[in-house]
Amino acid sequence: MKKTFLSILAIAAIAFTSCTISNEEPTTGFQADAANFKGNITQGTVTLNASLEYNLTGALVVQEGAKLIIPAGTVIKASGGTSSYIAVAQGAQIYIDGTAANPVVMTSSKANPASGDWGGFVICGKAPTNKGTTATAEVSDLTYGGTIANDNSGSIRYLRVEYTGATFNGSKEFNGVSLFGVGSGTTFEYVQSYKGGDDGLEFFGGTVNAKYIVSVNSEDDSVDFADGFTGSIENVYIKGVTKAGFEGSNNGDDGNATPVTNVTIKNASIVLGGLTGSEGAIYYKEGGGKITYQNIYVDGLGLGVKVKSTDTAANARITAGDLIVNPIQFVNKPTGFDYGVQSVITELNNSGAGSGSATPTWAASWTIGL
């Protein structure tokens, strides 16, 4: 009887140990070499050390099932043009845990940095887009899209990306931040793009909701969204507009593709900042979508809203009432409104991102170039 009892205890102990081991997070084989930071994180969790400066020398990809944690104050300096970028694949997660006092910074390693010095930051998720459920990202070549609206790629807070936008050719280049099919389970707030060679931030489909966004001196559009993006972008400060402040489209190949882009932009300031703003404060294109702009403050741009008369799908949506701009305030009122768009605009004074043309209080301390 005693032997039987001891045997039962031994079996129970083995079973308990087995269960405990099976619940442990897999061990990662990735070694984060600060002097030569690149490679594939394929499993487990990698946590960077904020006391080290990381030299990104190639592509760093967080693969499905793996997790990367970047603590407050971490600085990553990149070299290598288009070969150097940070990407998060479908099923992977990244946690950028910056603070207002100590943001995470991804920047150029050059002594005299300039736009296009390195690629940028890319996340690919499993949320819906109108490019299909297995689309390929134009940079990183990772798969994105799916049917999981609340897909969770992690949490990004207080991140600054600088001097991004390395170019492959005239039609393919990195944005500061590219979000491909990123789901609403992902936190994305307090993010700045500074002096990027293409768009500051671009949303390619997906359902993520963004807050507290800053784009300064991007060489294409400041904030771009397309391909059935369905979400909100709130509290946005744009300064230094080369092309459009906001560019919103449905699908470049089929303006009527579904799901239709459905976005609310709320509390935004668009300040020309000495650049050209050649495509206006708002560019509604390629079928546009169902887009509502609320509390928009525009200073210095010569074109209010741009829509091409040849964009049949976009103009049909305007007629149907799918573009709403209410309210918007213009300082130095633009001379141009394309194709009768002024009829959808309600002009009223408002504070935009919080302080009109001035830097909003929420953007203090963690941003640059303002």
The whole-number pLDDT of residue 18 equals: 42
- 213-267: per-residue pLDDT in tens? 999 999 999 999 999 999 999 999 999 999 999 999 999 999 999 999 999 999 9
- 331-346: per-residue pLDDT in tens? 987 766 664 566 788 9
The whole-number pLDDT of residue 29 equals: 83
The answer to whether residue 10 scores a pLDDT higher than 60 is: no
Quick one: tokens of 269? 């300031």
Give the confidence band of 124 by pLDDT, cuts at 50, 70, 90: very high
Q: Which CATH number fits domain 30-363: 2.60.40, 2.160.20, 1.10.10, 1.10.287?
A: 2.160.20
- 62-119: per-residue pLDDT in tens? 999 999 999 999 999 999 999 999 999 999 999 999 999 999 999 999 999 999 999 9
Lowest-pLDDT choice from 45-49, 89-93, 171-175: 171-175
Give the Cα separation of 285 and 255 in Å (integer): 8
- 265-323: per-residue pLDDT in tens? 999 999 998 888 999 999 999 999 999 999 999 999 988 899 988 999 999 999 999 99
The answer to whether residue 330 scores a pLDDT higher than 60 is: yes
Give the Cα separation of 127 and 222 in Å (integer): 23
The answer to whether residue 15 scores a pLDDT higher than 50 is: no
Give the Cα separation of 240 and 69 in Å (integer): 32
Q: Is 307 or 192 the better-scoring residue by pLDDT?
A: 192
Burial code of 229-240, b = ≥16 C-beta within 10 A, e = fewer? Answer: bbbbbbbbbbbb
Residues 317, 258: contact at Cβ < 8 Å?
no
As a whole number, the mean pLDDT across the chain is 91
- The strand pair at 75-78 and 37-41 is best described as unpaired
> Percent of the chain having pLDDT more than 90?
83
Helix, strand, coil share (%) of the chain residues, nearest 5? 10, 40, 50
The whole-number pLDDT of residue 169 equals: 83
Kindly list the distances between the CA atom of residue 93 and the CA atoms of 125, 156, 165, 185, in Å, as whole numbers in the listed order: 10, 10, 23, 11
Kindly list the distances between the CA atom of residue 123 and the CA atoms of 56, 87, 116, 127, in Å, as whole numbers in the listed order: 17, 6, 19, 12
Q: Is the pTM of this model over 0.95?
A: no
Query: Which secondary structure element, helix H or strand E, spans residue 10, and what is its range?
Result: helix 2-22
Quick one: tokens of 298? 């525009």
3-state secondary structure of 11: helix
Residue 261 neighbours by CB under 8 Å, 6+ apart: 130, 225, 226, 227, 228, 229, 230, 248, 249, 250, 251, 287, 288, 289, 290, 291
